[in-house]
Structure 1
Amino acid sequence: MSQDALSTLLSERDWLLADGATGTTLFNMGLTSGDAPEMWNVDHPDRVRALYQGPVDAGSDIFLTNSFGGTASRLKLHNAQDRVGELNRIAAELGREVADKAGRTVIVAGSMGPTGEIMEPMGPLSFDAAVEMFHEQAEALKAGGVDVLWVETISSPDEYKAAARAAALADMPWCGTMSFDTAGRTMMGVTSAAMAKLVETLPNPPIGFGANCGVGASDLLRTILGFKQTGTERPVIAKGNAGIPKYVHGHIHYDGTPELMADYAVMARDCGARIIGGCCGTTPEHLVAMREALETRAPGAAPALERIAETLGAFSSTSDGTDDKGPAPRERRGRRRG
């Protein structure tokens, strides 16, 4: 079987630049709160093409499709649960169109966000139902021509496993990130060390895994260091928010400047991330600065936590969640399941 496009690119390059924020960009184009962004794939295809073109022009090697809320459970909120196939396929087709005109290899990653439902036993969503929803979305993204599936902003290990199973059923390579936003853990209590371990227990591990969104860029980099401390050799993904959200005049603004995101990108690389992008608040302007910094600043040693906080802002919690349960991640390594 020929190697997938993302693995090929990773074998040729030390780092890859991912894209920025889908939501921020769409809101800037006129999407209103409460609307389903996925509807724009059909209603405003030119705006979605422009969404994709931004990161391509800024030098991104990867961009995510406008399909984050594309599962039946999320689309049901807009009475569009029967349009999963159409909305995801078109999100991918528009992406393929933009990537194929780029004049270089650009990876189209099919975004798959959380179902929005709580998994059993705490909630009503069964594992099989989650797999079925993700699989329906995955097949549509595949049909539209994505290179890789990109599972993101997950907080539950079971939901992560369900998405992995769906990728296997669709016979697609995939990447998967979790969102660490509660004292270094995901909302469901997963630490960076636990995620690195989880990934290796999957029958079809992702090409790359990591963290996206969460609190600020500082917290995200601490999580990246947590992954690397486990000794993982799998490519690590860092997609941090552009600074910290501030509520101004009824809107959420992120205070991260292009200069701050350039520092973040270089530090993410030095922390060990191979795929580096931005999440909420990150615009093409930020991406241009990130690319330039990655290309012009020499690689260095992993930054100390003090330096991360000094450069990117204070951590939101004193702990990254890995230090309060049993031995340190490094000591746990020998017992990892083979």
Structure 2
Amino acid sequence: MTREQFRALCAERFVILDGATGTNLQNAGMPVGVCPEQWVLEHPEALIDIQRAFIDAGADIVYAPTFTANRIKLEEYGLADKLCEMNTELVRLSKKAADGKAFVAGDLTMTGRQLYPIGDMQFEELFEVYKQQAKAIADAGADLFVIETMMSLQETRAAVLAVREVSDLPIMATLTFEPDGRTLFGTPPECVPTVLQGLGADAVGVNCGAGPDTMQDIVQTLLEYSDIPVIVKANAGLPELENGVTVYKMTPEVFAENSAKLASMGASIIGGCCGTTPEHIRALKAAIDKTERRLVKKAGQRVICSERKAVKIMPGERFLVIGERINPTGKKTLQAELKEGKLDIVRRFAREQQKAGASILDVNCGMGGIDEKQTMINVVNELSQISDLPLCIDSSYPEVIEAALRIYPGRALINSINYEEAKFETMLATAKKYGAMFIFLPIDDVGIPKTIELKHEIVDKAIDRALEVGFKETDIVVDALVGTVGADKASALNCFATFEHCRQRGLATVCGLSNISFGLPERSFVNTAFLAMSIASGLTMAIANPSQDLLMNTAAASDMLLNREGSDIRYIERISYYTEKMANEPTAAPKASSAAPTAPAEPKDEKESDPIFAAVMNGEKDSIVPLTKERVEGGATPSEIINDLLIPAINKVGKLFEQKRYFLPQLIASAGAMEQSIAYLEPMLVSDGQDDDAPVVVIATVEGDVHDIGKNLVALMLKNYGYRVIDLGKNVESELIVDTAIKENAAVIALSALMTTTMMNMKTVIGIAHEKGCKAKVIVGGAAVTESFAEEIGADGYSGDAADCVRLVERLVKTG
């Protein structure tokens, strides 16, 4: 199947996907704990029967069971050397089952290893893992690819890029969302199509996690931001325990009715995930056949995003500031830090600019004495952790820009591409490959155009060429190329003319403000007046320092005077921020007028301003050990630092995580920083008089389950709270868990499971613990686990996340 054929199929009618593979294989006799792909190869008739039943029920596409047949997963079973052979045969079996009546999709999913900087796996290593499997699948004759049940947008990016490296077959990509509407890594649905459709995905959507009755908001957002078909592959509701067996109780009729509602909203590719049988697909097909197709108008929005936040660029609707401060030019202290490999100032500038109102962060590492490409990679990785704002990648070197785009877990803005013959086509290709937006700078091989007519001619030629190679007007922002009014009195007027020219072509615009006032006294007044007039003339964004209050207040006021939607509230919020800032820094500038009173700032606990507390809050792994060492040398005891600063800080992080103001990357970064401090303090704790007889927690992912993201985070958090944690890893035999708990006199056994097919092993552990007289309390958690499930299997507690688990363990230890 070609990509064009796939698009035509989706445009012509609803496309029906198959249902669950794992739960139906288990019903067919596949035991828990085996390598699923190997079991299928040993029992091919089980797979063929299931897939033929789905096709008979109406499925247009079936998924080959290559779900975890990647190098990392197969290594856990000692089968990595069989990767090509296994993927080839699994695709062949599915093609045999399809017999030309349905298409076969090669299936990829997460590897279980965490990407740097959260984990230790580098992006290129993951890319090669996916590339190896994708090549085997493509060579085996799959009709298309599906990348499914993804929790990390960055890992999904790696998979899409890898498939595109070896194949031009269609790609479907679906992520799994938590009840709060974000993925485990904090990605909202709007970021998924924003990133993936530019990388070469042909359809995006949601699978697993919940039933179709809970997915309306996610699907609506996907439809709003997607220019390609939207997929829904929901579970048959949430899993429940019945007579000791995990079951899905949503009937085929209810599943079909709710899935059809999503189709009527505009989703065009529909199927079933966990718990769905051929009967569910049959009912779905019948319901879909009665559903009227809704063609959702694709506006081609201007959107860039980080992994956790999307920003719309809306000419004529809201003015945006691109924060300019992460740039070593003229900043000797920042230059010195970058030469030492430190990023403290980069982190501070990012936080300060976000707080001051920047919508995007410009990142430039251009200076002598460093490896600019590696420094840019380091900075992009760091900013992806600590800031939600999208990035504008700024460099004079194409190779630096490409290196940053490759590892950036979002959709970036390139600053910039000009019309120099040697670079233009190369940079267009780079932007296209990574799905980036770009700023066009109207300079050609001759240099800066001498007339406004020539500038507009360069703009038109470059944009026409970009459209020829597949870009849209919404992918491009034009730099107005601000000149100095002191040297050319018409500079401002020329910029206004460029704003109007671009508006007529449907293009967004940007400029660097400060050039206009070069060589003049009191430059801030010139810059501010120019800004207000430019916004009125159609300027979309400016690259500026958001810490300049006069500039930011003027921008907010200009939007309001132009009667832009929501601008009145934004102006009030901006002045409230300014007033509070002036109240806290009375010598920095005149206080705000009493005409704009605001409520006093909420008082903060004094410890929150402590550098160690702040280091935990911000995940400052580099600085927290020197800060801790300095505090100890100043006379503080390890217990004081832990109890008065580290634990309160991680408690606040936990609260922010619960409030969905922090997400998994920030939680891990904060826990990692705290771990560094505690590791430094630990050797001193005995001499400090601290009781080293800490409660023991044995933690493990149950037998048959090889997922450990959540388990690892819980273990890290418990260690940081002073518990002695024995982490047995993943896919751990039930008896070993209990025997370890008895041997170590554990107070708590913590069990994790991600898959519904392995949840029941939690009950097995509880049963063995009772038989052997183990006194440890047993608690459970994981994506598929619910509180009602915990009660049904006799667990002593359930936790939904790492912060909740710490509180649960504390309660159980206290009550005995």
Match of 2:104 among 101, 108, 127: 108
Match of 2:237 among 210, 235, 243: 243
1:122 maps to what in 2? 118
SS in structure 2 opposite 1:176?
A: strand
In 1, Cα distance between equivalents of 2:132 and 2:45: 25
- What are the equivalent positions in structure 2 for 1:1-338 lying under 5 Å apart? 3=3, 5-11=5-11, 13-102=12-101, 106-173=102-169, 174-202=171-199, 205-230=200-225, 232-299=226-293, 332=312, 334=314, 337=437, 338=475
TM-fit CA distance, 1:33: 1.2
The answer to whether the 8 Å contact 1:135/1:170 transfers is yes
TM-score in terms of structure 1 length: 0.85
Residue type of the alignment partner of 2:20 = A
2:377 maps to what in 1? none
Give the 3 Å change call, closer, same or farther, for CA 180–129 of structure 1 in structure 2.
same
SS in structure 2 opposite 1:181?
A: coil
After superposition, what is the alpha-carbon deviation per residue over 1:246-301, rounded to whole angstroms, capped at 9, x for unaligned? 12233221111011111122112112111000110010000000001111244579
SS in structure 2 opposite 1:137?
A: helix
The answer to whether the 8 Å contact 1:41/1:87 transfers is no
The answer to whether the 8 Å contact 1:192/1:226 transfers is yes
SS in structure 2 opposite 1:142?
A: helix
TM-fit CA distance, 1:170: 1.3
SS in structure 2 opposite 1:48?
A: helix
In 2, Cα distance between equivalents of 1:148 and 1:242: 25
The answer to whether the 8 Å contact 1:67/1:110 transfers is yes
Residue type of the alignment partner of 1:157 = L
The answer to whether the 8 Å contact 2:109/2:148 transfers is yes
The answer to whether the 8 Å contact 1:41/1:90 transfers is no
The answer to whether the 8 Å contact 1:209/1:235 transfers is yes
After superposition, what is the alpha-carbon deviation per residue over 1:56-79, rounded to whole angstroms, capped at 9, x for unaligned? 111100110111111111112211
In 2, Cα distance between equivalents of 1:221 and 1:89: 37
Question: How many positions carry a matched residue from both structures?
Answer: 307
2:467 maps to what in 1? none
After superposition, what is the alpha-carbon deviation per residue over 1:41-92, rounded to whole angstroms, capped at 9, x for unaligned? 4211111211221211111001101111111111122111111111111111
TM-fit CA distance, 1:7: 2.9
The answer to whether the 8 Å contact 1:178/1:211 transfers is yes
Residue type of the alignment partner of 1:7 = R
In 2, Cα distance between equivalents of 1:8 and 1:299: 15
Larger Rg: 2
After superposition, what is the alpha-carbon deviation per residue over 1:108-152, rounded to whole angstroms, capped at 9, x for unaligned? 111111111111111122111111111111111112211111100
After superposition, what is the alpha-carbon deviation per residue over 1:199-231, rounded to whole angstroms, capped at 9, x for unaligned? 2442xx21101010012323333211111122x
Residue type of the alignment partner of 1:186 = T
Please, which runs of 5 or more residues in structure 2 have no aligned partner?
297-307, 316-410, 412-436, 438-474, 476-816
TM-align CA RMSD: 2.3
The answer to whether the 8 Å contact 2:212/2:258 transfers is yes
The answer to whether the 8 Å contact 1:269/1:276 transfers is yes
TM-fit CA distance, 1:101: 4.4
The answer to whether the 8 Å contact 1:259/1:289 transfers is yes
Residue type of the alignment partner of 2:19 = G
The answer to whether the 8 Å contact 2:265/2:294 transfers is no
SS in structure 2 opposite 1:225?
A: helix
Give the 3 Å change call, closer, same or farther, for CA 301–252 of structure 1 in structure 2.
farther
Give the 3 Å change call, closer, same or farther, for CA 2–228 of structure 1 in structure 2.
closer
2:769 maps to what in 1? none
Residue type of the alignment partner of 2:147 = V
In 1, Cα distance between equivalents of 2:229 and 2:274: 22
TM-fit CA distance, 1:9: 2.1
The answer to whether the 8 Å contact 1:5/1:107 transfers is no
In 2, Cα distance between equivalents of 1:133 and 1:334: 39
TM-score in terms of structure 2 length: 0.36
Residue type of the alignment partner of 1:208 = A
The answer to whether the 8 Å contact 2:197/2:228 transfers is no
